[in-house]
Amino acid sequence: MSKICLTLTENRLEDCYKVINTKNQQVDLFELRVDFLSPIDQLMLGEFKSEYPVILTFRKECDGGLYNGDENYRIQILNMGIKSGNFDYVDLEADLDSPLLDEIAKKNCVKIIRSFHDFNGVPKNLAKKLIDCKRSEDEIPKAAVMINTTEDLLEFYREALTISSENKILLGMGSFGFNTRILAAKIGSMLTFCSKEGISAAPGHVSPDVLNNVYGFKNIDSDTKIMGIIGNPVMHTKSPDIHNRGYITQGINAVYVPFETDNLELFLKIADLLNIVGFSVTVPFKTDIIPLINNVTESVKMIGACNTVTRVGMTWIGENTDYVGFIRPLIKSYGDLKDKKVTIIGAGGSTKAAIYALKKEGANVIVVNRTLTKAADIATLYSVPYGPLSSDSIKLIEENSDIIIQTTNVGMHPLEDIDPLSFYSFSGKEFLYDIIYTPAVTKFLERGKHAGCNILNGMDMLKEQAYRQYKLFTGLDYPVI
């Protein structure tokens, strides 16, 4: 099991005490960052006191900190802190050449964390470099390296797993490396760092609340099964909240983490390396993943998109839970869909899942899309009428307006101010369904609601498709929470 360390980013020591007092139940130790303190508070470091374990760190700008002053001053302050006897650990960079500090730390029983940072990427022979940076056996080596690509992440895990039993601190920074912070226990990292809510002291820090309550960090050990989600971008996804809440509630030793990805083949190598049990697939990989997996279900073939991949032995099976996730909330809110006339905005992967599901229920569907050729392709595939996403389609939409469904990303950040159907006036009788869930009410839904339409957003769809995935990953029904 790894520990949680909260990095204190306060300007005043008295504010550090306040954070320590409010967060000590959620974390195991704190890191006092002298470079965040005011000059006066830096000079008062000798008086700092805490009944909880604290790491003393004074980080230079080139290592990701704020300090860019005189090196002798930095050494003097570290010296004062170490001698105060109030710190359990001191973080001394591998390039800091001060035998005196090493000696004083040892004399005062302050454990040395010997650290290096690489903001460019994963250095060659990371594992060896990490172990070699120790100056004596009792030091704890630490490396924080930037993960810029899936290739970097693969290299990171390959190296990390060769030294998983060594006492160390090891983490990948940035959104590609975020999963390494959560999976600290799997790579044998003594701790993971976090920041208080609303602050990120380093690229990829989340709050203790997210570590504990979203990821169940304290339950993760070497036996924990790993599930995940691949996408790009992926950090905004709410899927970890849903899946992990299920595992925590049912006491399943598993964790679901985001993997920002730019190379599917290399991600599959990571999945083998970490023995990932199953993963969700989101934009833009739902189609590209299909040729890379061994077997796909009929629905994946029909929709041409796969959002769920599960491991069976050494093979992968691709499924589509989007179409069930899409249709269930609609039936629940609207009722029977047989012979209903439905307009769908969009011609992407989500659109295909929606048409597949609607046709299964006996609805009559038409498609409107910005790029007419894409609407035509989809229309040919499913034998449905189509038109442009413009005022030229007003009549077509009017004739198919029992339900109007929005399946594009228009309405979601950074297009949150756009209503893709702004050229169309609602009568108030249409039922509107937008598969976007953030924001909860898009411009399209807002305008419809104003006109008197009943509306539905994508939150229930997200949940429903996740519940199906949960069953595929764990074999269990999602708990009632």
Q: Does 443 bind ligand ATR (CB under 6 A)?
A: no
Instruction: Rule CB under 6 A: choose which of 77, 342, 403, 410 binds ligand ATR.
Output: 410
Instruction: Rule CB under 6 A: choose which of 239, 369, 465, 474 binds ligand ATR.
Output: 369
Choose the stretch contacting ligand ATR; rule: CB under 6 A; options: 241-249, 260-268, 405-413, 468-476: 405-413
- Tell me the closest approach of the beta carbon of residue 440 to ligand ATR, in angstroms: 18
Residue 374 carries which side chain, given as an amino acid letter? K
Catalytic residues, by residue number, are: 286
Choose the stretch contacting ligand ATR; rule: CB under 6 A; options: 41-49, 96-104, 334-342, 368-376: 368-376
Instruction: Rule CB under 6 A: choose which of 406, 408, 442, 469 binds ligand ATR.
Output: 408
Which of 217, 195, 213, 214 has its CA nearest to residue 204? 195
CA distance 281 to 468: 14
Residue 23 vs 286, nearer CB to ligand ATR: 286
Which pair of structure tokens corresponds to residue 244?
């992990």
- Give the nearest residue (CB) to ligand ATR: 348
Site for ligand ATR in 317-356 (CB under 6 A): 346-351
Residue 146 vs 353, nearer CB to ligand ATR: 353
Instruction: Rule CB under 6 A: choose which of 409, 454, 471, 479 binds ligand ATR.
Output: 409
Choose the stretch contacting ligand ATR; rule: CB under 6 A; options: 82-90, 170-178, 290-298, 408-416: 408-416
Binding-residue pattern over the window 246 to 285 for ligand ATR, x denoting contact by CB under 6 A: -------------------------------------x--
Residue 371 vs 425, nearer CB to ligand ATR: 371
- Tell me the closest approach of the beta carbon of residue 392 to ligand ATR, in angstroms: 15
Which of 293, 316, 292, 289 has its CA nearest to residue 305? 289
Q: Does 420 bind ligand ATR (CB under 6 A)?
A: yes
Q: Does 370 bind ligand ATR (CB under 6 A)?
A: yes
HSE at residue 150, side-chain half, CA atoms within 13 A, is 18
Binding-residue pattern over the window 375 to 394 for ligand ATR, x denoting contact by CB under 6 A: --------------x-----
Q: What residues form DSSP beta bridges with 226?
A: 255
Which pair of structure tokens corresponds to residue 71?
């090196």
Pairing label, strands 169-173, 454-456: unpaired
Residue by residue, DSSP assigns 29-46 as EEEEEGGGS-HHHHHTGG
Spatial neighbors of 186 by CB under 8 A, at least 6 apart, are: 164, 220, 222, 224, 226, 274
Q: Which residues bind ligand ATR (CB under 6 A)?
A: 283, 286, 346-351, 369-371, 374, 389, 407-410, 415, 420
